[in-house]
Structure 1
Amino acid sequence: WQLRTFLWVFTVLREIWKVNSARHGVYWNTTNPRFLRDDYTVRVEINDYLDIYCPHYDPRVPERHTESFILYMVDREGYEGCYETPGAFKRWECNRPHAPFGPIKFSEKVQRFTPFSLGFEFRPGEDYYYISVPEPGSPGECLKLLVSVCCRPTTLQPITEVPKSQPRGGPRINEEGNTSGQGGGSRPAGGSSFTVHVSRFLLTLCVFVLLCI
């Protein structure tokens, strides 16, 4: 019974994470027009995913005409100069241009804490820099990407109640501003306040169930 309860709690938490995350796909090759302007930027939020798609070619294309890259995370200097700095963090290798089942995809979860030694921890409000260095003999060129992490609201927005009777001097105008995420990722529809409310309710329910075990 305890195992079944644990699995149920795990499933609920996993669904909460899915609601609060979006995926941002980047096709990493020189034919992607987003790389031509040299200012390719993706705006993400904590718990989003960054999906990197490696170059992929038809089997009839000769190996010497395909692009292969090594991707690094670098500092601002390495990003601006598009070169591997001494403290660069190697992330992935795109070296299978003829992969049989389509392009190789690498996924980076934008999270504040990671249990994996090869993972990377992100902080809200910070910028992170990716570059690619062509492998020897590859016709590719250095490409770079800026990933900007913004802050997801963690508290409910204040609600201003409209008075039942209008005060003298005319009606009061209540102005509300709505913001939306940027970066090209697919995010579920609905207000952030509703999402936070549901998430808190489910988390509270999960904790209550665990305490009752």
Structure 2
Amino acid sequence: MHPIRLSGRLTAWSLLLAGLAWTARAVWETRLAMAGEPASGPPDQGDGVHRPLNALENSYHFVTSLGGGAAFLCAVLFLLWLWRVRDNARTLSGQTPKYAGIWVWLGWIVPVVNLWFPRGIVADAFRTTAPGRKLPVAVNLWWGLWLIGMLSGVGLVYNDSTDEIIARAYTEVWPLLLSDAAVVGAAVAGAFAVRAVTAAQVERISAGSMTARLVEAGA
């Protein structure tokens, strides 16, 4: 049985930190849109030519770098938490998990299955830990917003460089801001989902410990 309370807290806080980082991105993208594109044009001017960045564009690079660090920390903590809750659910219920352990890691990157496997692992861990209880709304809200942020093409997964994102902010900022809003919402909902699943396991583990102590006392 893996200790889960601290892991759940760290994961929830890391999700909120990632949400804060994406909020900062949205603020900077709004500032870029309000400032307007310089007369010299976008940073990436094509054919391998890049003009010097101004102060606001440089600061956006810094903000996105911090956001990338926050997202990486969040991903590591979330995966470790997910492995633990899946393993704990198996121990607590005696049931074989619906998804093999390898999908805790590969489920996020393998095309098509990454559209539902991660949510499925979380849902399976909760349902086997707390049979009969309704899946927390936050789980579905987290996953729905995550998919919007991932599939929007301007949020969590995109091929454009930071300079190309700056150019987008100058010319059409609303798709960026909507995608940012989905990512922030997913982070907040994810924090609530992690807390709910963690709390269910802590409750089940505590109940099992109390039962064991009562049995020992009776013996």
Q: Which has the higher helix share?
A: 2
Q: Which has the higher strand share?
A: 1
Where relative contact order (Cα < 8 A, 6+ residues apart) is larger, the structure is 2
Interval containing the TM-score (normalised by the shorter chain): under 0.3
Please say which structure displays the higher CA radius of gyration. Answer: 1
